[in-house]
């Protein structure tokens, strides 16, 4: 066992994965600190016992070092999915640099960092390349480091399958860029448990980069269809999915940029989907941390509708060798 943890700093603790991480740490009687720019952003975790919400700019090196002092470990969940090169650099590279410096300044060495499946210095997207650079920064800092690389993460309050299901209640057809890209979706609870196990269980050096993916390999088109089946849309048949060519996909992404708010899809997202988002099989997986990842069929019906048709469809596709 590692040194007993009493207090953990969770950067990005107000986000989708962060909320689940905080809850699991709390159940282990570990005190958690969650920094945020605005306290109102932490409405979904601030009521948890043994959790302190602090208004701090974590991108300020001095503030980050002062925040980190007194903690036994830190979890970095901060990430952005959309933006320009500067935005990705700030979140995925500059912040890890500041975190590494703060760790060296305070003597806090235990770090769990959430990266991404497909992170590569020569990856097709800014997102993937910046994620790889962020990993390298932390790996060079001499830390007691575990890097988790999840595929796309799903769960009850996700903005992934829920979004696809919602769109199919509005539109009669689903035009879809990157329809044939394969993913290996992983349940948010499994990712959160991987974070906790990385903090509390002894791991050997060769197990420090872990591919956090689920058991199902499935295309984006099939995910869209399954979200509709689970939600019972169009009597469980969903809407026709029209796979867009790369050119039409680019036009769709350009159009999305003109809409207010965060885009549903960006050109950089499309660039990421030039390669499948699945495990390589060359690195340790969740089983290394004692976790048997949950299948889509076991979880998705519990929050998109208790629809046995989804389980039947998944079983049929798996038997047929679809994934």
On whether residue 233 sits in a domain, the answer given is: no
Local structure of 257: helix, strand or coil: helix
Q: Is residue 172 part of a domain?
A: no
Residue 240 is assigned to a structural domain of this protein: no
- Alpha-carbon distance of 72 to 6, in angstroms, equals 7
Domain with 118, as residue range(s), is: 7-153+184-212
- 3-state SS, residue 151: coil
The tally of domains found in the chain comes to 1
Count of other CB atoms within 10 angstroms of residue 156: 15
Euclidean distance between CA atoms 153 and 137, whole angstroms: 24
- Report the pLDDT value the prediction gives residue 2, as an integer from 0 to 100: 53
Give pLDDT, residue 290. Answer: 94
Give Cα separations from 12 to 111, 139, 158, 172 (angstroms). 14, 20, 15, 36
pLDDT score for 203: 56
90 inside domain:
yes
Q: Is residue 322 part of a domain?
A: no
Q: What is the CATH number of the domain that holds 122?
A: 3.40.50.720
pTM of the model: 0.90
Give the distance from CA 134 to its chain's centroid.
15
User: Is 169 within the bounds of a domain?
Assistant: no
pLDDT value of residue 206? 53
HSE (CB half, 13 Å, CA atoms) of 149?
26
Provide block-wise average pLDDT over 10 residues at a time, the chain (323 residues): 81 95 95 93 87 95 97 97 94 98 96 97 97 97 96 91 87 90 97 96 69 96 90 83 88 73 80 94 94 93 66 50 45
Domain assignment present for residue 106? The answer is yes
| Cα 215 from Cα 186, distance rounded (Å) | 8
Q: CB-based contacts of 318: which residues, under 8 Å, 6+ apart?
A: 216
Question: Does residue 279 lie within any of the structural domains?
Answer: no
């Amino acid at each position: 066992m590692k040194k007993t943890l009493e207090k953990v700093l969770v950067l990005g603790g107000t986000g989708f994965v962060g909320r689940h991480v905080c809850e699991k740490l709390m159940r282990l009687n570990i005190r958690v600190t969650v920094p945020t720019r605005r306290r109102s952003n932490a409405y979904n975790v601030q009521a948890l016992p043994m959790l302190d919400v602090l208004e701090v700019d974590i991108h300020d090196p001095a503030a980050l070092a002062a925040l980190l002092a007194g903690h036994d470990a830190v979890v970095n969940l901060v990430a952005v999915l959309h933006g320009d090169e500067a935005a990705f650099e700030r979140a995925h590279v500059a912040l890890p640099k500041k975190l590494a410096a703060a760790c060296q300044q305070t003597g806090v060495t235990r770090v769990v960092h959430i990266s991404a499946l497909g992170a590569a210095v020569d990856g097709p997207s800014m997102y993937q390349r910046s994620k790889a650079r962020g990993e390298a920064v932390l790996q060079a800092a001499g830390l007691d480091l575990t890097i988790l690389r999840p595929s796309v993460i799903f769960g009850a309050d996700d903005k992934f399958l829920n979004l696809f299901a919602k769109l199919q209640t509005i539109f009669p057809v689903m035009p879809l860029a990157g329809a044939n890209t394969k993913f290996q979706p992983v349940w948010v609870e499994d990712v959160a448990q991987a974070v906790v196990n990385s903090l509390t269980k002894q791991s050997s050096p060769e197990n420090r980069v872990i591919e956090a993916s689920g058991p199902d390999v499935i295309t984006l088109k099939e995910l869209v269809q399954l979200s509709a089946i689970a939600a019972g849309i169009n009597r469980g048949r969903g809407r026709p999915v029209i796979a867009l060519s790369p050119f039409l996909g680019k036009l769709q992404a350009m159009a999305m940029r003109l809409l207010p708010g965060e885009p549903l899809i960006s050109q950089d997202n499309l660039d990421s989907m030039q390669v499948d988002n699945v495990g390589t099989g060359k690195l340790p997986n969740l089983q290394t941390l004692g976790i048997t990842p949950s299948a889509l069929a076991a979880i998705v019906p519990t929050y998109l509708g208790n629809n046995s048709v989804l389980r039947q469809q998944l079983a049929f596709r798996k038997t047929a060798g679809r994934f």
